[in-house]
Amino acid sequence: MSQHRHFIIHKPYGYLSQFVCDQKKKKLLGELYEFPEGTMAIGRLDEDSEGLLLLTTDGKMSEYVRSSDVEKEYFAQVDGIIHEEAIEKLKSGVEISVEGVKYFTKPCKARRINPAPPFPERSRKIRDDRHGPTSWVSITLTEGKFRQVRKMTAAAGFPTLRLIRVRIGAIQLNNFPSGEVKELEDLEKCLHESFV
């Protein structure tokens, strides 16, 4: 039996996907659970993003999950009513900037979500409805550049207002409560067999 340990967490809004930070007053993952020494987040969700985050003490497993072999699905609430032309742009790839260099995103899966997914209100309100309509889109990637989904929807003309990662491989967020942590026996098996 592997001595490595693996966890899933529903990362709340406003937390960093890390355990140490030079800036005071930042909320860190260690405040949510007492993780064993050597635990690392597999890929990151930025401070403003929410949803499914995997953690492990196994560096090889971390590399595998971050590889193009494992899909990551995101639900993005965007500014405006996203149309089919923008969805097609997202699917075929858009130009974004990665560390100041132009990058064309790989083809991916994208679709409009209607009606809106029934997520609880975020701890910090998105914005007032008087500022215009919003809509939701699902984007499934096999790559993970810095703030990629946000950059992609902006490039398609619909800036992201709220971003939630809902799936990594076969592991789904579903109704897993925000801030909850669950330890997994066999992360590799879970990535291929939906259970959450």
Distance CA 72, CA 65 (A): 9
Query: Which of 50, 1, 40 lies closest to 20 in space, CA to CA?
Result: 40
The tokens for 129 are 């409805």
Alpha helices in the chain (DSSP H): 59-66, 84-92, 148-155, 187-192
In the set 46, 58, 128, 186, the catalytic residue is: 46
Residue 60: C-alpha distances to residues 17, 29, 41, 123, 179 (Å): 19, 21, 13, 35, 26
Q: Is 22 a catalytic residue?
A: no
CB atoms under 10 Å from CB of 34, counted, come to: 7
Active site positions, annotated: 46
